[in-house]
Structure 1
Amino acid sequence: MTDAAADARRLIASLDLTNLDDGCTSADIDALVARASTPAGPVAAICIWPRFVKQARAILPPGIRLATVVNFPAGGEDVAATLAETRQAVADGADEIDLVVAYRRVAADPAFVEGQVRAVKSAAGAATLKTILETGELADPDLILSACEAALAGGADFLKTSTGKTPVSATPEAARILLQAIAAHGGSVGFKPSGGIKSFEDAKRFRDMAAEICGEGYPDPSRFRLGASGVLTDLLAVAAGERRVEAKAGY
């Protein structure tokens, strides 16, 4: 097995295979679950709309986690509604909650975001809480760092870049800010770049950066995830040796 093929397998094992399309159907969820067990091994999780959690829970193979989204994609400020959504998702069988924080409040009131994260973390119970900071909309590095610090102070288990619903999703520049904040916080919180990850090279770029900043042992599926829908096909091609990787992916 080539180094690239081994890397592709590791990336597949860290993938949150996602369908958050507006027109997603029950049949699409069945298809997503079927894709999640790949010839190169299972993905880490599937990530789907809350309304499909019960359906997916009934058919998802053991070992693949079930993630869903709350306060998505708008990142509103109605904490009570988000708490209700979170509790229902956990009751329906979600293992992981991907929360869009109220990122528009970060500039003026980061304490609101900290409190929002803390409340949702409590409602999520044993479920993993990933906080979506919508870094493409925040844009300013200082605001992105402020969002990181608020989410970390609120008890987030992961920092995640994006919903994938905005013009700018995961970028290397934003990823570096998130990873540096995680490292400064002790290096145990997870990292999930999401949106716009289309190729093996895209995915490996983020994994390499995570290893550089947080340590070689950091990017395993417990702390490193990729939020994507379309990248699996390319990762499988590399894993099977069907696509040559010409050069080491850099960033």
Structure 2
Amino acid sequence: MEFQSPREAAAFALSLLDLTNLRDDCDNEAIEKLCHRAQTPSGHAAAICIWPGFVAHARQILGAGHPVRIATVVNFPTGDLPVEAVIEETRKAVEDGADEIDMVIPYRALLAGDEVAVTAMVEAVRGACPDSCLKVILETGELKDRGLIRRASELAISAGANFIKTSTGKVSVNATLEAADVMLQAIRDSKKRVGFKAAGGIGTVADADLYLRLAESMLGPNWIMPSTFRFGASGLLDDILMLLNGGTSARSAAGY
């Protein structure tokens, strides 16, 4: 994408950001800080992404109908909970005020050749949150193989995903441009309105811009918006704010 300045690029990245705290030491105070950080003088993040146990507290802070959406995670991070447990997690999260559900597929089952387990899990969670945005996490760094990432994308899309998402951020390899390329091709070929979320390891606006350029080349400049594209990151906001406040990015922002 062509931006007139690094500041313009930063403002756009902010609008696509799922500001995330999925740390093991997260607490109510951290959630309060996250909610406030998601709202800046230059605009707000698309969503916050938090543990299910903090959804009700975040909803108290943000209130009903707030432009910053509340996303939470289920079957996270291992992807191996029983379907019934994940359905219960999902229903409780929605009752507590979650707008969006980020669920992990049973990727180990897929690695063992069990496609039915993936379809069953996605369909079950879709049924438990029919009015919520459902982002399906493929854990591409564990799937590794391009063909398997493609198949996971197809299964998730067919089973009702609103987004397909690269990673949990909890494994050694998270978002990569290679995995994004496969996933965006699957979205394009599906001819469905399905979004893409890159999560884990995206720390600068320059990093983010590489994903934006890839998506634009695949799906066109008018496709990228908060309803179809997200970044899942905790550190990206620091670089965004640095640029918005007239500073220099942590890495060269050449090309904006």
Which TM bucket (shorter chain)? over 0.9
5+ long unaligned stretches in structure 1: none
Once the two structures are superposed, the pairs formed by residues 165-184 of structure 1 within 5 Å of their partners are: 165-184=170-189
Q: Tell me the equivalent position of 2:51.
A: 49
Confirm or deny: 8 A CA contact 2:205 2:253 kept in the other structure. Answer: no
Task: Name 1:13's counterpart in structure 2.
Answer: 15
Q: Does 1:105 align with 2:112?
A: no
Aligned residues: 249
Cα gap change, 1:87/1:209 in structure 2, threshold over 3 Å: closer, same or farther? same
- Normalised TM-score (structure 2): 0.94
**RMSD of aligned residue pairs (Cα, Å):** 1.4
Residue identity (%)? 48
SS at match of 2:175: coil
Deviation at 1:115, TM superposition (A): 1.7
Q: Please report how far the alpha carbon of residue 240 of structure 1 lies from its aligned counterpart in structure 2 after TM superposition.
A: 2.8
Specify which of 141, 151, 155 is matched with residue 146 of structure 1: 151
Residue 36 of structure 1: aligned partner: 38
TM-score when scaled to structure 1?
0.96
Give the 5 Å matches for 1:56-205: 56-60=58-62, 62-107=66-111, 108-205=113-210
Once the 2 structures are TM-superposed, how far is the Cα of residue 181 of structure 1 from its aligned partner?
0.3
- Alpha-carbon distance in structure 1 between the residues aligned to 2:117 and 2:31: 34
Distance 1:24 1:194 in 2: 19
CA distance in 2, matches of 1:234, 1:2: 18
1:106–1:146 Cα contact (<8 Å) kept: no
Match of 1:75, as an amino acid? G
The code of the aligned residue for 1:120 comes to V
Measured after TM superposition, the shift of residue 215 of structure 1 is 1.1
CA shift at 1:239, angstroms?
Answer: 2.4
Q: Does 1:214 align with 2:219?
A: yes
CA deviations on 1:92-132 (whole Å, 9 max, x unpaired) are 00000000010112241112201210110010120100000
